């Protein structure tokens, strides 16, 4: 009987210590995830794994203690009364442990939800940054396209101006050439001048 009481007292002390070390309730975890000033209140992954293992170990110890109590009860004269007392102790210890497990599970859900929200926010921020970069690159490309079009227009305009000047020069040369030909033709068709009088012919 002393052994059973000792085991129960040990389980009670473990439950009390675990209750003090359990992660803060869900609102605290949520505010810690959303506020940089309270990030230290959120347990690390290693701490959470250690707490989960501790709860699993306590569950295992509780089951083993109950099995040991039942073995002892079968060695006693009043087996039924002993078994009832062992079951009652197991129910009380299980209730306390169950409360801690529920708190831990709720905290885990809150932490994971906060992490999911953080990942979504980061993904949205990345997407917005990529959109801004794409818009900036598109604006730069449009500016370059406009500059290239303007430069091409200036080149085309300069080329057209040079062609016009060359055309006008050719027209002037052709006109001068025609004028020269006309002058030569007129000189060729001009009637010959009258011969000079022979001196002394009038006598």
8-22, 80-94, 175-189: least confidently modelled range: 8-22
- Per-residue model confidence as pLDDT tens digits over 107-133: 999 999 999 999 999 989 888 888 888
pLDDT at 29: 39
| pLDDT over 60 (residue 76) | yes
Rg (CA), the chain: 55
Span 150-192, pLDDT tens digits: 888 887 776 666 566 777 778 888 888 888 888 888 777 766 6
pLDDT band at 202 (very low <50, low <70, confident <90, very high): low
Q: Where are the beta strands (DSSP E) in 57-154?
A: none
- What the block records as the tokens of 103 is 């708190």
Given this model, what pLDDT does residue 151 score? Answer: 82
* pTM of the full structure: 0.41
* Nearest Cα residue to 24 out of 32, 12, 13, 16: 32
- Reduce the DSSP state of residue 200 to 3 states and report it: coil
> Residue 75 carries which DSSP code?
T
Q: Mean of the per-residue pLDDT values for the chain?
A: 76
């Amino acid at each position: 009987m002393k052994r059973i009481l000792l085991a129960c007292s040990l389980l009670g002390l473990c439950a009390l210590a675990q209750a003090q070390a359990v992660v803060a309730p869900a609102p605290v975890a949520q505010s810690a995830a959303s506020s940089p000033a309270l990030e230290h209140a959120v347990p690390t992954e290693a701490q959470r794994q250690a707490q989960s293992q501790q709860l699993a170990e306590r569950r295992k110890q509780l089951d083993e203690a109950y099995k040991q109590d039942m073995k002892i009860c079968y060695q006693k004269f009043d087996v039924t009364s002993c078994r009832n007392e062992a079951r009652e102790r197991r129910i009380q210890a299980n209730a306390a442990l169950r409360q801690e497990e529920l708190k831990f599970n709720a905290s885990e859900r809150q932490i994971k939800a906060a992490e999911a929200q953080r990942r979504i926010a980061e993904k949205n921020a990345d997407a917005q940054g990529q959109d801004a970069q794409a818009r900036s690159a598109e604006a730069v490309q449009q500016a370059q396209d406009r500059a290239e079009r303007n430069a091409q227009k200036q080149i085309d305009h300069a080329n057209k101006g040079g062609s016009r000047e060359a055309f006008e020069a050719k027209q002037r040369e052709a006109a001068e050439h025609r004028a020269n030909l006309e002058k030569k033709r007129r000189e060729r068709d001009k009637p010959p001048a009258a011969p000079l009088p022979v001196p002394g012919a009038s006598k």
